[in-house]
Amino acid sequence: MKKWLADRLSSALQEEQVPDKQELMKRSPLFAELDAESLTALADRMYLRRLKKDETVYEIGSAATAVYFILEGTVGLYPSSEASGRGRLHLLKAGSHFGDAALFGARERRHRAVTCEDSLLLALFRSDYELLCRMRPQAALHILSLAAQKMYAELTVIQNELQRLTLEGRPDQ
């Protein structure tokens, strides 16, 4: 009986294809500019997560420990524990990333992240990022640059919205 079970498990594991992180990363615009050594160093520090539709990546208030990169699928960010399309802050597609605040010392999540379809994510934990900073500064700077570009784009949207609201609130002169 034990041999039969061991053979079945071995066969099942061989049938399941584990994707090559480096190959997946090469296809993503997020990592396209990295040299081979940096890509290898980064891939060695990242964890692959395959999630089904409507699975929670993280909850509001949970520890902010990792940044996530979307290789396949979509992820919705929500301001509350309810995951409905109406309350969604952002819908992120393959090639996007989220949870960057984890790399900059954020203690807890301020929104909920839920997959909107079957998705493939890469997670980079803060501890691995700190190690990467020491071992491969070029790869670490690439991640930092991605986060800075995203924050700048989000700040621009906020500034434009504030300006629009300010102008709407002024009485006609």
Identify whether the C-beta of residue 23 lies closer than 8 Å to the C-beta of residue 72. no
* The total number of structural domains that make up the chain: 1
For 83-118, the pLDDT digits (tens) are 555 677 889 999 888 988 888 877 899 899 999 999
Count, in order, helices (H) and strands (E) of the chain.
5, 8
Instruction: Report the CATH number that the domain containing residue 136 is assigned in CATH.
Output: 2.60.120.10
Q: Tokens 């692959």 — which residue?
A: 48
In eight-state DSSP terms, residue 114 is E
Q: Which of the four pLDDT bands, split at 50, 70 and 90, describes residue 4? A: very low
Q: Is the residue at 27 inside a domain?
A: yes
**Cβ–Cβ under 8 Å, residues 30 and 67:** no
Q: pLDDT higher for 64 or 136?
A: 64
Considering the entire predicted model, what is its pTM? 0.73
Instruction: Answer yes or no: are the C-beta atoms of 45 and 132 closer than 8 Å.
Output: yes
